[in-house]
Amino acid sequence: MKKITMLALLASAVPFGAMAESITGGVTLSYTEHSEDGFDIETKGIDGRLAIDMDNGLSFDFDLGHAKMQPDGAPFDLSAEFYSIEAAYRFGQGFRAGLFADRLTLGLGIIPIDFTLKTNGLSLGYEGKGYEVEGFVGQTSMGFPFLAPGL
């Protein structure tokens, strides 16, 4: 279900492509190994970014990713999935306002329970010559399915 949600988020950005002034993005594949005092951990991941800027001041940003961590000798894997969506409008004189929604899910492979953080909020910013300032106001909810179903 989570992978279908991520694909749907990317597919929803396609109609904006025809009207966009610029589209940028990228995909990152990662592989890391950490070792300290005999404890080894291997991490594999993939994440993608897509930014769409319209010629009318609107912009849309989409981020999503997945990572899997495998501690050496452990009977479980750790996993993380995230997505982020932002819509913003650039006013005249360098001012900017936007809405965003983020979701991060962490899982422990040995048990079918995930920990989820969901954040929704507003952003306000200003961009001048050589600098940029941005502030965020949001609300985060934590989901523990084993404590309170439906969060």
Look at residue 144 and tell me whether its pLDDT is greater than 70: no
CA–CA distance, 47 with 8 (Å, rounded to integer):
15
User: pLDDT tens digits for 87-109?
Assistant: 999 998 889 999 999 999 998 87
CA–CA distance, 87 with 71 (Å, rounded to integer):
38
Going by the DSSP 8-state scheme, the letter that residue 9 receives in this structure is: H
pLDDT tier at 151, thresholds 50, 70, 90: very low
DSSP SS3 for 91: coil
Look at residue 80 and tell me whether its pLDDT is greater than 70: yes
Q: Is 75 or 28 the better-scoring residue by pLDDT?
A: 28
pTM: 0.71
Q: Which helix (H) or strand (E) holds 78?
A: strand 78-90
Q: How many CA atoms lie within 13 A of 145 on its CB side?
A: 9
